[in-house]
Amino acid sequence: MAPVQCFTEQLERCGGLPCFSAFNLIDFQTSVIFFGEKTDQFGYRVIQTKSNGNSWLVVSAPLAGNRTGSLFQCSYDTQRCQPIVLKNAKVVPRISLGLSLAADEASESKIMACGPTWERRCGQLDYLNGICYILNGFDANVKEIQPAFQECVFGVDAVILYDDSGSIVDSDLHIMKNFFLNLMDSVADADVQFAAVQYSSLYSVVFDFATYNNTREKIKDIIHNFKRFKGQTFTPSAIVYVVDKVFTTNRGMRPHSKKLLIVLTDGISNDRSTTFEQATEAANKKGITRYAIGVGENFLTAQDELRRIASSNENVFSVKSFDALEQLQKQLKDKIFNIEGLNS
């Protein structure tokens, strides 16, 4: 039996009092030294465990293999270390396995090793997650513990759906289009892309997300020169059209963006083919947040329809006239900035 040594220095730290908790029990006479790669940070964490009746050291080298990390089982008897193979587990690259390492004192054979530098890219940002592995003896299958990743969502894809019914005179439509152009300009520096759809009894894409991104300088001409329909007001059908035909990747929508629909109308819908319930159900399925803007005297008192379009009452706006739309500029801009994740 090797002698247990107590160091004078430690006794002094305890002020001469017995300090059992501070004692290191170190066997100098039969010590075993294990060597590993310095660049791999071999020895960053060391724990003692038991397997098949033998005592082992488990040593981590978190920078091994281009920061994937490795674990070693080291034998006191052979004085050698060998890599631990994580059976039936997929080791994720560059996780720095072994930056943390713990033993289950109750079972003596169970250990947990974690790699906390699992990089995930989301838009322009990199996120770090961790993954842990539980080993119960070196020969048994390894259990993985993975995080439930938060959904990667970035950027805003917004569709402007504007009313082109016959009740709107050309000059008011012009004001409305300028209102939307100014709104687009006001969030130009944020990660927001737009599409526009014109509707009445008919509906048509004025420009989609791809056009907005590729030829942004032409958007003003495109929207102002778009042919008028001047029909009735089929708002729910137009919403379903936008959900099905415009919020699509072939129109330039990004799969992981936050989706926004801004509906502007001057009158109550007389759509008989589609209900607002059908329209909002379709939009909800794609996770589309909706804003409703009512223009004209109707909407100052009758806001029910706007509430049926919008995702929430806070997303309902109404103004007395097209000239008054400008008042909404900052509110809408702030809403978009908040959704996009930036402060206005």
Task: Compute the distance between CA of residue 256 and CA of residue 123 in angstroms, rounded to an integer.
Answer: 9
* Stretch near Mg ion under the rule CB under 5 A, chosen from 17-25, 110-118, 227-235, 305-313: 227-235
Structure-token pair, residue 242: 């936008």
Q: CB nearer to Mg ion: give 190 or 202.
A: 202
Q: Based on the shown chain and the rule CB under 5 A, indicate whether residue 232 belongs to the binding site for Mg ion.
A: no
Q: CB nearer to Mg ion: give 266 or 271.
A: 266
For residue 306, the minimal CB distance to Mg ion (Å) is 14
Which residue has tokens 């919020």? Answer: 247
Q: One-letter amino acid identity for 330? A: K
Q: CB nearer to Mg ion: give 116 or 166.
A: 166
Q: Based on the shown chain and the rule CB under 5 A, indicate whether residue 236 belongs to the binding site for Mg ion.
A: no
Q: CB nearer to Mg ion: give 44 or 317.
A: 317
Structure-token pair, residue 112: 């947990």
List of residues 6+ apart from 163 with CB closer than 8 A? 199, 200, 233, 235, 264, 265, 266, 267
Sheet containing strand 203-207, strands side by side: 203-207, 192-199, 156-163, 258-265, 288-295, 316-319
For residue 168, the minimal CB distance to Mg ion (Å) is 6
Task: Compute the distance between CA of residue 246 and CA of residue 253 in angstroms, rounded to an integer.
Answer: 8
Out of 75, 109, 136, 167, the only residue in the binding site for Mg ion (CB under 5 A) is 167
For residue 196, the minimal CB distance to Mg ion (Å) is 18
Q: CB nearer to Mg ion: give 165 or 289.
A: 165
Structure-token pair, residue 239: 């919403």
Q: Based on the shown chain and the rule CB under 5 A, indicate whether residue 296 belongs to the binding site for Mg ion.
A: no
For residue 332, the minimal CB distance to Mg ion (Å) is 21
Q: Are 292 and 239 in contact (CB under 8 A)?
A: no
For residue 305, the minimal CB distance to Mg ion (Å) is 12
Task: Compute the distance between CA of residue 85 and CA of residue 309 in angstroms, rounded to an integer.
Answer: 57
Q: Based on the shown chain and the rule CB under 5 A, indicate whether residue 165 belongs to the binding site for Mg ion.
A: yes
User: Apex CA 191: angle with CA 190 and CA 193, to 5°?
Assistant: 110
Q: Based on the shown chain and the rule CB under 5 A, indicate whether residue 267 belongs to the binding site for Mg ion.
A: yes
Out of 157, 266, 271, 305, the only residue in the binding site for Mg ion (CB under 5 A) is 266
Task: Compute the distance between CA of residue 110 and CA of residue 45 in angstroms, rounded to an integer.
Answer: 16
Q: Based on the shown chain and the rule CB under 5 A, indicate whether residue 157 belongs to the binding site for Mg ion.
A: no
For residue 241, the minimal CB distance to Mg ion (Å) is 17
* Residues contributing to the site for Mg ion (CB under 5 A): 165, 167, 233, 266-267
